[in-house]
Structure 1
Amino acid sequence: MRFALIIIGLALLIAGAWVVFGHGSYQTTDTLFQLGSAKLTATHDKAFPQWLGIAGIVVGALLVLGGILRKS
């Protein structure tokens, strides 16, 4: 269990840092116009919010510390 806490914490730390430094994004697709079966769509890249990265770093650090300080 201790090893799992450390691994999950490190993954959250890395993902949080990735988002904070501006590399995390996702795509959304909007339908602009539809006539029958024909569609006109637009795809946009959106960045994850900064607070999400900071929360990932904080929670990840707490999990790593909890895994290190936990007595087996």
Structure 2
Amino acid sequence: MRIALMVIGIILLIAGIWVLAGHGSYSTTETVVSVGSHALKATHDKAIPQWAGIAGVAVGGVLTLAGLLRKR
């Protein structure tokens, strides 16, 4: 359990720092026009919000510290 807390914490820390550095984004696709069986779709890239990066760093830090300080 101790190792699992540390691994998950480190992964969240890295992901949070990645988002805070401005590299996190995801794509959404929406239908713009639909005529009969044909459709025109647009894909947009959206940035992951900064609050998600801050939360990832905070939770990752707590989990990593909990894994380090937990007694066997």
1:30 Cα deviation (Å)? 1.0
Distance 2:37 2:57 in 1: 45
1:23-62 Cα deviation digits (max 9, x unpaired): 0000001100001110001100000000000000000000
Does residue 70 (structure 1) correspond to residue 70 (structure 2)? The answer is: yes
* SS of match in other structure, 1:10: helix
TM-score normalised according to structure 1 size: 0.98
Distance 1:65 1:41 in 2: 46
Partner of 2:31: 31
Does residue 51 (structure 1) correspond to residue 67 (structure 2)? The answer is: no
1:4-41 Cα deviation digits (max 9, x unpaired): 00000000000000000000000001100001110001
Overall identity of the aligned pairs, in %: 62
Aligned residues: 72
Q: Structure 1 regions of 5+ residues with no counterpart? A: none
Q: Structure 2 regions of 5+ residues with no counterpart? A: none
TM-score normalised according to structure 2 size: 0.98
